[in-house]
Chains A and B, each alone.
Chain A
């Protein structure tokens, strides 16, 4: 079985602050990390590998430094990493990204048939959750999103059974392989890399494919091929909250104050 995991390098958004003057994101000095959802995707692929046997290729589109995402995945146990890196890919929105990724996966599949694609549910920088389904649609693969449990992989009948998570229910879905699944964080706890694997990953050769390999029309990818444009990034306005302190003897006073406020706002009756 050949599993492809799509992983993205993203800025650590929890460390992104908002410039109080311009109200824009301060990205300076913010470290880049593997999209946290993709950490779970990588882990799930590795678990399937451990349970059923598989080759895991991790795929990422991005600038050269994005290869650290691939090395990290290899340190965890992925067999290979493939970086799609070309100026022509830069600025791609979800539509263009899924195009580049699906063409690359199709090409990979020519070398070694791809049976399963695992993606994180969404990225923490774009938060669209569109790329996984986009890939599946373009490749004509079955797709199950929001998976929180892989129940079974049957290689003889070429079927995968998964459980998808919704607000207040679960759905058990059986899909034909090849399929795309996108996973939520609850699916697993990512493992920790061993040092021998890390040392191997530090030195291993990472394959890089440019558009010369994929031969995509530059007008259909990158900025030019992206119908979505980011107009402005800003922090939504929020009224400042208030903390009512009250420990020990002050407790009663604090409770009375809160009651008063709630009454003033007409949350509580008189």
Chain B
């Protein structure tokens, strides 16, 4: 290698490094435009998740094709350490070699490098084939994707070429590169020494150029995730993300996100970490029923918006400091708008059911839907710009503490003939049984209530209800971004619970359950919350309840409610009840447990029109019907409603019944003949 070549390479390398680092620092500065968010707790756990999910690629390999990425990831790391580091240093200082590492380590390194190159080459070819011929719906055939595959492939080819060019003429000591040696066999004895020398230089420079192009290209492309994904796994959230933190309602504050820099730095890091794998979109019930919302597009739009606005903000700063300035005036590109690619459309924001499937699926722990919630907050609280049907809904809850707008005095009508104790009369009851709005006001839920109350009575559980003092838990308000009204409601409710000294709360609805159990903690709630399926299954287990007979012939398929399952990890209890009642485990749908598919009613969607795409509940109902059930079992009044609507549309009404697990337990439905 000539001095001229070394100097040329050194210059090219330094130039590339400069552009690489400049971009990386700029991205870092842009990320710091976000607002503060504490993510520095649990450091040992964070390290563990870096190892497990970052280096271990645990979530990546959950999907069948993820293994390919696992090999690519580790191949990439090994090649950096074993081949490219030596290549670059030797490119500048030709005398350099890793041989000084000794006769054991050096052979291992060269051997590994050689084999890894083959693995990576194969992985790249497989990936290209998959994209070309076996493309799953969520993977896109972008130019960028092929560009990077070609780049990596070229790098491997150049590497082998280099080896071959020194093996064939018998130069150099290429002892520990078995793959290269095999590849060299067909060339043995061919070409002059000079031609191999020229080939060697050509491959060397090919390798050098591709390597440097790659270096600069990374932070400008979707492959930025090579730098950010590991960091994002480190800073991940440990509990499932259920809601945004509460707010302070003071004049002069901001209420929600309308500009990208109002997100937290972690949100911005999320934008930079997306691998564009599309798994979130694949799991999203809104995307798969043809709605505008696509969680991947939301993240990509956030990233594009951030890059454009962030660069403008930084450019307008005096000097290249990282100190904050008032960015408000500098943000030119709107975050919420109907322009594609750099903004999120209001329709997409309202399409979300907050089912959490996206978050659960993302291999690098991006939190997609909470960003939509932050934007909902802005739309509702700062611009009062939301689908018209929500006006009455918001007013009903605010004025009558229920979504239906029915007078609060009528709240306990369902209980009129059931002899249900009121907490005002029995303040020492063990459980406050919180009924919730759907069960309080819809006639279909009466038989669910009857079944539960009968079970409570049989098991001699002491409980009482709030009666007309009960108010909405506020779940839909919070998910819809109306934090202001939610805040008031929650404080009022907590005061009421304190007044009665509530220690244990039994809920019917998983939305009430999750909201009281987690969201209310920030409002001073300190009581145990238990879902009816948890209590009923415990009572069965303790022998305090006997399931009804004669259900063995039923084919019961169970649907996991998002707010009980993903939000709270309750998967076994409802299944246990069904098992006890029928003697066998429920039928399972393909999408179940952690991967369950929303019924379509979460996130306030229960109270909204579903006018774009096909209906989510219809899709889910068809998924359930594929198991050829006689009963679809649910444990949530929302799900129950959605499935009942679904089977009406599927014309299977009468043949398939939709039941709450408590009804199955009570067996009351078998006696009914309508």
Contacts and interface: CB of A to CB of B under 8 A. Distances in A.
Nearest to A199: B251
Given A29-B409, A199-B249, A200-B251, A193 B388 contact: no
Interface in B387-409: 388, 391, 394-395, 399-400, 407-409
A130 to B, nearest CB: 27
Nearest to B381: A195
B463 interface: no
A63 to B, nearest CB: 20
Contacts of A199: 249-251
A194 B381 contact: yes
A191 interface: yes
Interface in A164-195: 189-195
A248 B674 CA distance: 8
B674 A247 contact: yes
A196 interface: yes
Nearest to B254: A196
Given A15-B409, A198-B484, A191 B251 contact: no
A190 B249 CA distance: 24
B407 A14 contact: yes
A17 interface: yes
Contacts of A203: 251
Contacts of B674: 247-248
A33 interface: yes
Given A15-B407, A33-B399, A195 B255 contact: yes
B97 interface: no
A140 interface: no
B462 interface: no
Nearest to B400: A15
Given A29-B409, A31-B399, A247-B674, A196 B251 contact: yes
Interface residues of B, number: 21
B383 interface: yes
B322 interface: no
Interface string B238-253: 0000000000011100
A142 to B, nearest CB: 32
Nearest to B255: A195
Nearest to B388: A189
A196 B382 contact: yes
Contacts of A193: 384
Interface string A61-84: 000000000000000000000000
A17 B408 CA distance: 12
B382 A191 contact: no
Contacts of A189: 388, 391
Given A17-B409, A247-B674, A195 B484 contact: yes
B251 A194 contact: no
Contacts of A14: 407
A168 to B, nearest CB: 28
A201 to B, nearest CB: 10
A66 B573 CA distance: 51
B391 A196 contact: no
B246 to A, nearest CB: 13
Interface in B362-416: 380-384, 386, 388, 391, 394-395, 399-400, 407-409
Contacts of A29: 409
Interface in B338-382: 380-382
Nearest to B256: A195
A218 to B, nearest CB: 36
B394 A192 contact: yes
Interface in A139-160: none
B402 to A, nearest CB: 12
Contacts of B395: 192
A233 B399 CA distance: 26
Contacts of B388: 189
A199 B382 CA distance: 11
B450 to A, nearest CB: 19
Interface in A193-224: 193-196, 198-200, 203
A252 to B, nearest CB: 16
Contacts of A190: 391
Contacts of B251: 196, 199-200, 203
A198 B484 CA distance: 10
A199 B674 CA distance: 53
Nearest to A203: B251
Interface string B408-432: 1100000000000000000000000
Interface in A224-270: 247-248
Interface string B111-142: 00000000000000000000000000000000
A39 B370 CA distance: 34
Nearest to B377: A195
Contacts of A191: 384, 391
A193 B388 CA distance: 13
A235 B249 CA distance: 44
| Residue among B251, B383, B408 with the highest chain A CB neighbour number at 10 A | B251
A192 to B, nearest CB: 4
Contacts of A17: 409
Nearest to B249: A199
Nearest to B251: A199
A195 B399 contact: no
B130 to A, nearest CB: 49
A190 B392 CA distance: 10
The 5 A-B residue pairs with the shortest CB-CB distance, nearest first, are A195-B381, A15-B407, A192-B384, A199-B251, A195-B484
Interface of A: 12, 14-15, 17, 29, 31, 33, 189-196, 198-200, 203, 247-248
Given A15-B409, A200-B251, 12 more contacts: A14-B407, A15-B400, A29-B409, A31-B399, A189-B391, A191-B384, A194-B382, A195-B249, A195-B382, A196-B251, A196-B382, A203-B251
5 contacts: A15-B409, A31-B399, A195-B249, A200-B251, A203-B251
Interface of B: 249-251, 255, 380-384, 386, 388, 391, 394-395, 399-400, 407-409, 484, 674
